[in-house]
Amino acid sequence: MFPTHDPVIDEPTFMGSHVSGTARIEPVTPPGTVYVTEPFAAALVLDSSREFACDYVGRMSAAKDYGLLRMYRLRRSRSSDPTV
């Protein structure tokens, strides 16, 4: 993913394969949930804040024949919830 300028709308934007991949995940994500890729989930594991956690949901077909992706459901970590 890299920043660029969109000459059509005359605004900054981002382009790259990760942007396209994200667009293929959203249509197959159940309403009310957020799915992330394995690299994103791995980056969260390395994050020291532990505000969020990911649960593996399996290999899912992405939209528009983008392929099978190992998907994770993003959620708030129980340890970040003051009511727990």
pLDDT for 32 equals: 94
pLDDT for 34 equals: 94
pLDDT for 84 equals: 44
User: Chain-centre distance of CA 34, in angstroms?
Assistant: 7
The rounded radius of gyration (Å) of the Cα atoms in the chain is 15
Stretch (H or E) spanning 21: helix 17-25
Q: How many domains does the chain have?
A: 1
- Sorted by sequence, the CB contacts under 8 Å of residue 8 that are 6+ apart come out as none
pTM, two decimals, is 0.73
Average pLDDT of adjacent 10-residue blocks, the chain of 84 residues: 92 84 86 92 85 93 86 84 51
61 lies in which domain range? 2-80
pLDDT for 82 equals: 55
